[in-house]
Amino acid sequence: MTSATHRVLQGIELVTHCVPSLASVLPAYRDCLGYKLVEQGRVDAALCAAWATPAMLGMPYLLLQPASGADVYLRFIETGRAGGYWPPVTQGWIATEVLAEDPDLLKRQLEQSVFTLIGGPADLYPGPKSARAMQMQGPAGELMYFTRILPGGSRFGLHGAKSFVDRPFIMVVGSDSMDSLHEFYGNTLGLRVDVTAPFKIRQMSRVLKVDSETAYPVSIARIPGRSFLLELEELPTSVAARTCPPGELPEGLAMVSFSAPDLDAVSLDYRADPVTLQQHPYAGRRVAVVEGPAGEWLELIEAAG
């Protein structure tokens, strides 16, 4: 197992979605969720080199930051191709979970918007301080969870939102093998991974057209610092892999970017040699990409200094 001093993932910095068009994305996240546009441009040669995705060159993108000012961003890249991942569910990155102060009020505010309710709001477990979550489909088909955490209400020590809709704090990844997820996130990347337990994920069951009481094996990988988690889900073997067009990022929820230690100090099979990137939020740091067991892409951003 990777030792505690070589925990590769140190925090979430970016969540990247590949979408058919950016036209509906900016107004949805800016006007409905309070995110602000901090950068827009086109994928350049340096990004393509870091990702080993030559066909992405020139694709337009937006970089959005939550109203709280947290340095955790959503990036949307316009591929011009219809597709995505929801529905149906595929293996790989499944959902982006963001902190929110009041999912019930947010639901009412989004009723006439481009966001579509999938499930909730509902408490996640019995008790007055339970986390409360809502699941919605965004304008490009992206699956977003909005979760309230009350003071003292997280068994993982997580803190709640600092704006009405805040930053991503949990990413959900699914594979047809929980053993492979434990091996990668626990042994290879050095995270503490909790024991797997059955959990009813009703929104998943609706899409997969199975009994709503179906329980899925679920585990949590803890990222140091008590600010971020990864939710690991074992999916039925019938669930397909994510489509990845030649020379591009995977479709839909394509990649999650993490701050990481010295990229040369860990033994990982990078898609390409580390590349130094200047644009925001990389700021001269080196970047490399590794693929997980379900085909999910992880962008590792070397910690400064």
Distance, in Å, from the CA atom of 78 to the CA atom of 68, rounded to the nearest integer, reads 26
DSSP string covering 28-83, please?
IIIIIT--EEEEEEE--HHHHHHHT-GGGTT-EEEEEE-TT--S-EEEEEE-S---
Write out pLDDT tens, residues 239-264: 999 999 999 999 999 999 999 999 99
DSSP string covering 120-155, please?
EEEESSSSTT--EEEEEE-TTS-EEEEEE--TT--T
Assess whether pLDDT exceeds 60 at residue 5: no
Write out pLDDT tens, residues 21-35: 999 999 999 999 999
Distance, in Å, from the CA atom of 22 to the CA atom of 43, rounded to the nearest integer, reads 14
Q: Which residue has the higher pLDDT, 87 or 283?
A: 283
pTM score:
0.95
Residues ≥6 apart with Cβ < 8 Å to 30: 36, 37, 64
Determine which of 174-178, 210-214, 225-229 has the lowest per-residue pLDDT on average: 210-214
CATH number belonging to domain 4-302: 3.10.180.10
Assess whether pLDDT exceeds 90 at residue 183: yes
Q: In what order do the strands lie in the sheet with 36-42?
A: 36-42, 60-65, 73-78, 11-19, 252-260, 297-302, 285-291, 275-277
Lookup: tokens for 56: 């992405």
Assess whether pLDDT exceeds 60 at residue 3: no
Q: From residue 210, give the alpha-carbon distance in Å to each of 8, 12, 122.
A: 36, 32, 20
Count of positions (residues) in the chain: 305
Strands 285-291 and 215-223: unpaired
Q: Bridge partners of 18?
A: 77, 252
Write out pLDDT tens, residues 131-147: 999 999 999 999 999 99
Q: What is the mean pLDDT of residues 45-52?
A: 98
Strands 73-78 and 143-148: unpaired
Give residue 1's pLDDT. 35
Residues ≥6 apart with Cβ < 8 Å to 126: none
Give residue 25's pLDDT. 96
Give residue 205's pLDDT. 86
Lookup: tokens for 305: 């200094």
Q: Which residue has the higher pLDDT, 132 or 127?
A: 132
Among 177, 169, 139, 137, smallest CA distance to 295 is for 177
- How do the domains of the chain map onto residue ranges? 4-302
Please state, as a whole number, how many other Cβ atoms lie within 10 Å of the Cβ of residue 128: 7
Give residue 218's pLDDT. 97
Give residue 83's pLDDT. 65
